[in-house]
Structure 1
Amino acid sequence: MTSRSSFGLPLAALPLALSVAGAQAQTTPPQLRETVVTATRVVQPLMDVVADVTVVDREAIERSGAVAVADVLARLPGVELARNGGAASVTGVFVRGAEPRFTAVFIDGVRVDSQSTGGATWNALPLAQIDRIELVRGPAAAVYGSDAMGGVVQIFTRKGEGAFAPSVSVGAGSHGLRQVQAGFSGSSGTIDYALSAADERSTGFDSQPGSNPDRDGHHNRSATARLGWQINPAHRLDATALSSRVNAQYDGYVPGDDDRSFHHLNTLGLTWQARWTDSYQTRVSASRGRDRYDSAPYSYLTETTVTSYLFHNEWRQGAHLFTAALERREDELDNVSTTPAISGRHQDALALGYGWVAGAHALQLNLRHDRDSEFGDKGTGSAAYAYSFAPGWRATASAGTAFRAPTLYQRFSVYGVPSLKPESGRNVEVGLRYAHQGTAYGLVAYRNLVSDLINYVPGSGPCANGMGEYAGCYANVARARYSGVTLSAARRVAGVHLSASLDLQSPRDLDTGLQLVRRAKRHASLAADTRVGEWLLGAELKLSGARFNDTANTQRLGGYGLVNLHASTPLAPDWSLLLRIDNLGDKDYATVRGYATPGRTLYAGLKWAPR
């Protein structure tokens, strides 16, 4: 790709930037009481977690100026994205180079998935409704079952606490972007509540300049509701709901048509938590996630419903934590090209866990057995150990197995094969981390081997109904290796917070020896922020090496470097202002061949939140 400007930085300079950040800078120390739940489905202090976890809070999300969840994640170590145009277009997220369908996604504990494409529909996840994101890198199938082969993303909406607190925010930016969000939260006696709604519109830009010259805009509407009831000190009920509707324009096969996609994402969850003794507590939940897609003027309807039931038990005895869970997952697919009589399945599972934290040592063991109504039994396990061998220093090692069940579309569409086997993975990783008084360094090396990888094979057949012999079928035909090293460093110098990360990875097809599509061998970021008076000023540099758009590695996508700037300040006790410039150098690049990216964009947001 060519550049709209002369801006560019060599990727080779990143190791130097990392060493400078590590030697001269210092970040704000993490809160000692900060907890995470995604790593093991148990609330844990972040400092006790052995897994490779990153937490993003609402303040960081707002400061990022991002318009989509995938953009927030792409700023984190080990994460890349590929997108067919604007923020509302088809988006893939790669965690440690793994396939997008290999990342399990939850919203307030509700699993969301598409049994058509496999994985979450990232462009339908409403960023305006999100209060916190937890990212676990590496397989977690021994905890979550199918899908968690590359990582887990857990999204949390706002929970009410304290006095009644309303908030309103508005924003405007390039490409006709307009955003408005309003909500309130709080608690009264034993009841806590939160309600929020958002509307986002954009006239968009021409996502395919070479084939259909028009602007591809979008309109997103979303809402969340959360209600909690602390029945007594030992028992609590929580109910959550989310709705997201996306109307996005895209370029189809006929120039001049007003092609549109309609994504509807809905989640419902109900949880009862009970503490029976000081040592024993349980959690019972029922949830449903629904992902619906349709298009116009040429209709293609597909709808996935994932219903889950969980009975989770925790027993603590000193430094020991034992967990046992029974879980049932029911998948349903309504698709115009699947066999109506066999469009559903269920999985029943038993999961066991053991955790131990004592002094310098931490151990986490997990075993899980899943029984699928179609392909039978699948067992997974993981073991992780951490040793704090010196003040501030911690070494970790882990190993685990994982799987992803074939989607219902891969098995029962006109291109499907009912006899497909689950994709299976084996992962090992080691890590070394240092954290002391805000200074942080990190190194994680990993290797994830996947067998029975499912690919679409053109010209193969026959498929489920015999129609696929000409077009092709899905098949377990590949093996893949996702291996790499992630380096990170952060410190503070002279009032400036610096952080940097560098990913060196090799996502490779083991049968052909070629690089897997749309993933770079190297990508990195460097960020700095400081306060000047009442202003918080920040800059970030994002670098990515070259990738390939096809499995034969003949369609090269050039590397790129992007500079983003942000500034925020309180205007009054209850008002704040956010300004942001993305892609300052107006770099012309692509993450998917033939699809444009936004170029330089400006954003200004105003928020009212009485304290």
Structure 2
Amino acid sequence: MKTCVLHARSAALSLVVAAAWPAFSQTASSPQLRETVVTATRTDQSVGEVVADVTIIDREVIKRSGAVGLVDVLARVPGIEITRNGGTASNSSVFVRGGENRHTAVLIDGVRVDAQTTSGGTSWNAIPLAQIERIEIVRGPTSAVYGSDAVAGVIQIFTKKGQGPFAPVVSMGYGSQHTRRLDFSASGSVDAFDYSFGVSEGSSGGFNVRPIAGQNPDADGYKSSSANAKLGLQFAPNQRLQATLLRSRVDSQYDSGPTRDYRRISRLQTAGLQLQSQWTDRYSTRVGISQGTDEGEEVIGVAIDQTKIKNLLWQNEYKIGPHLLTATVEERESEFLLTTAPRIERTKSQSGLGLGYAWSEGVHTVQLNTRHDKDSEFGGKSTGSAAYAIALTPQWKLSASAGTSYRVPTLYQRFSQYGVTTLKPETGRGTEIGLKYAQGSSEFGVVAYQNKVSNLLTFLSGASATGCPRPAVGCYSNTAQAQYEGVTFSAAGKTGRFGLYGSLDIQNPRDVGLNKQLARRARTHATLGADTRIAGWTVAADILLSGKRFDTAANTTVLPGYGLLNLSASTALSKEWKLITKLDNLTDKLYQTASTYAMARRSVYVGVTWAPL
């Protein structure tokens, strides 16, 4: 195992250096960067004014990746690891800088999504990739802006905004395991009204995700469908009303016994209404009301778990020259329903007041935020963050930041048969320092970080469950203290006809009390990608490398390290038609990110897209 990790680490280092070296001489603009970033502070900021460690993924990057699921896109992002219990539609986790899956706040068009079940977090498999136009990822504690949950970072997903003439797009494809996809979308604008909508369907015969004794040896496939709409009305020069709606349904098979065909139906829905107003040259407001629903249904046993998050936001911005003052009032209500015994039907609420100050002038940028939340069950909690950046040259920027964070236990963790009502919120304190270079399409960055989390929630079982209300079944407990620390290197650029990017993460996510590596997170992981044009084709390849992981908190079950090679190619068949092909796991690597759960072997996918404009 040590040899595998050392090989992965040395290979990743050399690949990242190779990607970074040519990046310094390029001047072409990068297709990944937009003019503004919203997620870092909930305000529009130019890329140059953002102090936080941010990655932006646009639709072109998503299409070039050839990915089928959202998690596959995130797996290529610096500072992020993923685990999955099988195929695309299986239960998935996203670890930002080694933090727990529940430690990342997730929003879709500003609508919060989360589940109050088990350990909490987002149902990643239910978020449809076909509807996504852009993804903004903020790494580091962000509770001073978003309240509970943002311990490790924030991921916000945006669907497309309509503009210009009516523009339809149809995509269809077929691949290994009888995987099928059909997507239709259209967007445009008429005078002050803009619109965008889409529908998508997919299915796969799947493969046997648990190839072990005692489990059903059948193939575990899925069926999925989704729809979204975004409508906007500029009813006055400085007044815009926007409505968003997204719905998805995933029916996926899984193994939990020798014969039965276990299936889980995941449903996700987001709805939001937002009014943006620019009252004067200095003062603007944003008022939003939204609801996010995460629901799971176990077909065998007819068990249902449902989380509804209702949110009301009032944000104020006031500019005085280079200074920006913000004040945010937010009300959040979470409803949880669980139909299995003991039945749970409970509601909790949080109210928050956040204040922010930003200043950017000359070579200096400052960002300060503070927030106080009042939880209906845990009382008041204050968080804060401070960040500073200085432009050493027009290309080089040095930054440093510190922040506090927290996440309250889920209602399942407190009131289910495994629950303990006296659980405490998890609390975090993080710091980071970064150095970044950017010129044209050339980018290089190194960020060192540390995030200490107290009262970490873990599940006790066996001998450790003696203090649980029901020792025979186990329980949740604030028994651990975690420390997430590491260094992330990233680079992108061009050399000749080749575009290159790479990242390397060297981290140490550990349980301080046990002095053990946290489960399912590697000490080293890396990516390397390259693309070029050959005879009218855009050809791309990427390599994903991971060191060994442990499947258990006690570090007794080892998951070996692995390396994956993926290829994709696309070409324009005509002005309106485009062909894309992809080959994942070229070497047919046998690997696992969760013990006893197989990941997909070599697979092929071929698709065509019709876009008349």
Aligned to 2:146: 144
Which of 523, 527, 530 pairs up with 1:528?
530
Q: 2:541 aligns with which of 524, 539, 542?
A: 539
- Superposition pairs for residues 153-164 of structure 1, below 5 Å? 153-164=155-166
Offset of residue 600 of structure 1: 0.6
Q: What is the rounded CA distance, in whole Å, between the counterparts of 1:317 and 1:163 in structure 2?
A: 38
Offset, 1:416: 1.0
Matched-pair contact (CA < 8 Å) for 2:386–2:401 = yes
* Counterparts in 2 of 1:437 and 1:226: CA distance versus 1, 3 Å: closer
**Residue 469 of structure 1, CA deviation:** 3.4
Residue identity in the other structure for 2:566: N
Cα offset for 1:298?
Answer: 2.3
**Secondary structure of residue in 2 paired with 1:153:** strand
2:396 aligned to 393, 412, 426, which one?
393
Larger mean CA deviation between 308-317 and 204-213 belongs to 204-213
How far is 1:261 from its partner? 0.3
Which AA in structure 1 matches 2:102? R
Q: How does 1:469-480 map to 2 (within 5 A)?
A: 469-480=471-482
Equivalent-residue separation in structure 1 for 2:342 and 2:424 (angstroms): 19
Kept in 2: contact 1:241–1:266 (CA 8 A): yes
Query: What is the deviation of 1:299?
Result: 2.5
CA displacement 1:293-322 (0-9 Å, x = unmatched): 011222221100000000000011110000
Partners in 2 of 1:419 and 1:375 — Cα distance? 10
Give the structure 2 partner of residue 84 of structure 1.
Answer: 85
Aligned mate of 2:359, from 335, 345, 356: 356
Q: Quick one: distance in 2 between partners of 1:48 and 1:314?
A: 16
* Structure 2 CA distance for aligned equivalents of residues 300 and 457 of structure 1: 24
Structure 2 residue runs of 5 or longer lacking an equivalent are none
Is contact 2:548–2:561 with CA below 8 Å preserved after alignment?
A: yes
Q: Distance in 2 between matches of 1:9 and 1:398?
A: 33
Deviation of the 1:461 alpha carbon: 6.6
Q: 1:100 & 1:341 partners in 2: Cα distance?
A: 23
Contact 1:89 1:123 in 2 (8 A): yes
C-alpha contact (below 8 Å) 2:271/2:290 kept by paired residues: yes
Aligned runs of 1:96-107 on 2, under 5 Å? 96-107=97-108
What is the CA–CA distance in structure 1 between the aligned matches of 2:177 and 2:535, rounded to whole Å? 32
Q: In the alignment, is the contact (CA less than 8 A) between 1:173 and 1:604 conserved in 2?
A: yes
Matches within 5 A, 1:239-318: 239-253=243-257, 255-318=258-321
Gaps of 5+ in 1: none
CA offset at residue 551 of structure 1?
0.8
| 3-state SS of 1:301 partner | strand
Q: What CA distance in whole angstroms lies between the structure 2 residues aligned with 1:137 and 1:366?
A: 16
Mean Cα deviation higher: 550-559 or 429-438: 429-438
Aligned residue among 233, 240, 259 for 1:236: 240
Match of 2:13 in 1: 15
Equivalent positions of 1:1-80 (< 5 A) are 10-25=8-23, 28-30=28-30, 34-80=35-81
Give, in whole Å, the separation in 1 of the partners of 2:242 and 2:128: 21
Structure 2 CA distance for partners of 1:113 and 1:341, relative to 1, 3 Å: closer
Supply the distance in 2 between the matched residues of 1:304 and 1:341 (Cα, whole angstroms): 11
**Does 1:324 pair with 2:327?**
yes
Q: Distance in 2 between matches of 1:172 and 1:276?
A: 51
Please say if residues 397 and 430 of structure 1, whose CA atoms lie closer than 8 Å, have aligned partners that are also in contact. Answer: yes
| Greater mean alpha carbon deviation, residues 475-484 or residues 10-19 | 10-19
Q: Do 1:337 and 1:414's aligned partners in 2 also have CA atoms closer than 8 Å?
A: no
Structure 1, residues 378-427: CA drift from partner, whole Å, max 9, x if none? 00000000000123110000000000011011111111111111000000
Corresponding residue of 1:430: 433
| Structure 1 stretches of 4+ moved >2 Å | 8-11, 24-33, 336-342, 459-463
Asked if structure 2 preserves the Cα contact closer than 8 Å seen for 1:25 and 1:497, the reply is no
Residues 473-526 of structure 1, C-alpha deviations (whole Å, 9 max, x = no match): 111110000000001122211111111110000000000000000000000011
1:22 maps to amino acid: A
2:457 is equivalent to residue 454 of structure 1: yes
Q: 2-side partners of 1:462 and 1:291: how far apart?
A: 32
Kindly state the Cα deviation for residue 198 of structure 1 after the two structures are TM-superposed.
Answer: 0.1
**Cα contact 2:54–2:139 (8 A) shared by 1:** yes
Mapped to 2, the partners of 1:321 and 1:461 lie a distance apart of: 53
> Are positions 1:334 and 2:332 aligned together?
no
User: Is 2:8–2:546's contact at 8 Å kept on the other side of the alignment?
Assistant: no
RMSD: 1.6
Q: Pick from 340, 343, 363: which aligns with 2:346?
A: 343
**Letter in structure 2 aligned against 1:58:** R
Would you say the 8 A contact 1:162–1:186 is kept in 2? Answer: yes
Task: State the secondary structure of the residue aligned to 1:443.
Answer: strand
Q: Is the aligned partner of 1:214 residue 2:218?
A: yes
Q: Distance in 2 between matches of 1:593 and 1:340?
A: 30
Quick one: which amino acid aligns to residue 30 of structure 2? Answer: P
Give the superposition deviation at 1:11. 3.3
Q: Tell me, yes or no, if structure 1 residue 549 matches structure 2 residue 559.
A: no
How far apart are residue 9 of structure 1 and its match?
A: 6.3
Q: Normalising by the residue count of structure 2, what TM-score does the alignment of the two structures yield?
A: 0.96
Deviation at 1:107, TM superposition (A): 0.4
Secondary structure at 1:139 match in 2 = coil
Question: Hey, what's the Cα distance between the residues in 1 that align with 2:163 and 2:441?
Answer: 29
Residue by residue over 1:351-404, the C-alpha shift from the partner in whole angstroms, topping out at 9 and shown as x without a partner, is 000001101110000000000000100000000000001231100000000000
Contact 2:144 2:404 in 1 (8 A): yes
Number of aligned residue pairs: 602
Counterpart in 2 of 1:199? 201
Q: Is the 8 A contact 1:343 1:412 kept in 2?
A: no
* Paired letter, 1:18: V
Question: Given the two structures, how large is their TM-score scaled by the length of structure 1?
Answer: 0.96
Alpha-carbon offset, residue 470 of structure 1: 2.2
Instruction: Tell which deviates more after alignment, 115-124 or 505-514.
Output: 115-124
Offset from partner CA, 1:556-581 (integer Å, 9 cap, x none) = 00001111111111111111111111
Q: What letter matches 2:556 in structure 1?
A: T
**Contact 1:337/1:413 (<8 A) preserved:** no
Partner Cα separation in structure 1 for residue 357 and residue 408 of structure 2: 26
Question: How far apart are the structure 2 equivalents of 1:426 and 1:9?
Answer: 33
C-alpha distance in structure 2 between counterparts of 1:14 and 1:252, whole Å? 37
By how many angstroms is 1:215 displaced?
Answer: 0.2
Correspondence 1:360-375 to 2 at 5 A:
360-375=363-378
Distance 2:440 2:161 in 1: 30
Structure 1: how far apart are the matches of 2:238 and 2:492?
41
Partner SS, residue 115 of structure 2: coil
CA contact (8 A) 1:342 1:412 kept: no
Find the aligned partners of 1:593 and 1:20 in 2 and give their Cα distance. 34
In structure 2, what residue type is equivalent to 1:479?
Answer: Q
Deviation at 1:144, TM superposition (A): 0.2
- The 3 A distance-change label for structure 1 pair 426 and 436 is same
| Partner residue in 2 for 1:599 | 601
Contact 1:273 1:284 survives alignment (8 Å): yes
Identify the range of structure 1 (336-345 vs 474-483) with the bigger mean alpha-carbon deviation.
336-345
Larger CA deviation: 103-112 vs 115-124: 115-124
Question: Cα 1:461–1:114, aligned 2, differ >3 Å: closer, same or farther?
Answer: farther
Contact (CA 8 Å) 1:53, 1:135: kept in 2 or not?
yes
Q: Residue 461 of structure 1 contacts residue 473 of structure 1 at CA under 8 Å; is this kept in 2? A: no
**Comparing 392-401 and 297-306, the one that deviates more:** 297-306
- String of CA shifts for 1:105-147, please: whole Å, max 9, x gaps: 0000000000003011111111111111111111110000000
